[in-house]
Amino acid sequence: MSKVSRFVLAATFVLAAGGCSTAVQGTPTTAPSAPPTSVANPLASLKPCDLLEQVLQGLDYPPVAPDIVNKKLACSTHKPDGSDVMLLLNPDIPFTETPTNSGSSKVGTVNGRRALQMSDLGKVKGGCAIRLEVKPQANALLTAVSNTTAAEDCQLADQLATRLEPMLPRG
């Protein structure tokens, strides 16, 4: 599988990771007005490329760029050896401990922040994503995909999530 195909597949997983919902019974009503932007979107002041650039500092990755899938909320970089890293900010999607892949997953924390690690991302060989909670109703998803194993991708994703976590707002 080509590097671009692997990354597009991983990016598709990433977008799907935050977009699942369930039907709710009841009668629709008008929602109350949204709280101020800082509460409604705790990620509003963050730029994914600035964050990813800081997270990757000193790790010999090429410059980051807005991702082809979502230029406003996602940023990625690609090494010639096939290692891809992407950060997606999900401002309107609450953190969930429910995995969105058929591979393995584990719930835990990164520096005390709730996190979900998901590995074996579909048809990609290996791959690992870590979803970090950003209260009140958001999450950040960091994905690492390479030509190695899911275990190695998860080691990198863990290292990067540990660097990213202090940069995210606390609710």
CA distance 130 to 107: 10
User: 35-75, pLDDT tens digit by residue?
Assistant: 333 457 889 899 999 999 999 999 999 999 998 888 999 99
- C-alpha dihedral, 55 to 58 to 59 to 64, nearest 10°: 60
Confidence check: pLDDT of 133 > 90: yes
pTM confidence score: 0.76
Mean residue pLDDT of the chain comes to 79
- Measured over the CA atoms of residue 6, residue 97, residue 105 and residue 53, the dihedral's sign is positive
The string of DSSP codes covering 27-76 is ---PPPPPPPHHHH-TTTT--HHHHHHHHTTTS-PPPPEE-SS-TTTEEE
Sheet arrangement for strand 128-134: 65-66, 74-78, 84-90, 138-145, 128-134, 113-119, 105-110
